[in-house]
Amino acid sequence: MMIQGICFDMDGLLVDTERQGLRASQAAARLQHHTLSDERLHAMMGVSIAAIKGWLCQWFPGRIDPDQWERDWRRLMRESIRTEGLTLKPHAAETLARLKARGFRLALCTSNTSSAAAEYLRIAGWEDAFDQIVTGDMVRSSKPAPDIYLLGARRLGLAPGLCCGVEDSYNGIRAVRAAGMVSVMIPDLLPYTEACAPDVDHLLSDLSQLEALLTAKE
């Protein structure tokens, strides 16, 4: 496998924040007297805040203030991280360190905001872990569009075909496939299903398996 660059999602893959994010999303909606179904919550996973706000306006036309929802969501997430802490996913730290030591170029390609990514990386001690950082507020279209991953490859100075994208969500893995990268799925809250199969080149159970996969034919 001639891979030179690795593009990582963040939430649900490197940091265990998906549950906190879904709770905050629901709580922010309820502050405006709305409830998000499980289907809608799952649809929100892996996409940018801007995309979520657009969906909220479609789901609750004229009955929700998306900017207020975003402010409440950000506040609730800050409170959750402050009280519960930021839990790293198993094997995340050592996997990043080992892959970088092997000479792979690493990019963070998250739908989260620049400010959230910077805060999480600071807490995790990963300020220097990535060669490039691309966030959802840097691109026009959110996952499952390929924009984030295409920008990640471009900033690494690599063709998408020389990169792999590592994801946990359905929206994310579709974005990797659309970008023309090798796709690696490590499921978190949403399980792998046969519907994912066309978009998944490699299915792993956790990050500890990634190095062996990428170096198997070196």
pLDDT reading at 218 higher than 90:
no
Whole-Å CA distances, 168 to 62, 124, 145 = 33, 19, 16
Radius of gyration of the chain measured on its C-alpha atoms: 17
Taking each helix axis as running N to C, give the angle between helix 66-84 and helix 18-30, from 0 to 180 degrees, rounded to the nearest 10. Answer: 140
Percent of the chain with pLDDT strictly greater than 90: 98
Instruction: List, for residues 84-100, the tens digit of each pLDDT value.
Output: 999 999 999 999 999 99
pLDDT reading at 1 higher than 80:
no
Between 23-27, 45-49, 106-110, 163-167, the lowest mean confidence (pLDDT) is in 45-49
Instruction: List, for residues 123-160, the tens digit of each pLDDT value.
Output: 999 999 999 999 999 999 999 999 999 999 999 999 99
* DSSP states along 187-198: -SSSPP-GGGGG
CA distance 111 to 213: 25
Q: Please state the rounded mean pLDDT for residues 16-38.
A: 96
pLDDT reported for residue 217? 59
pLDDT reported for residue 23? 96
CB atoms within 10 A of CB 124: 18
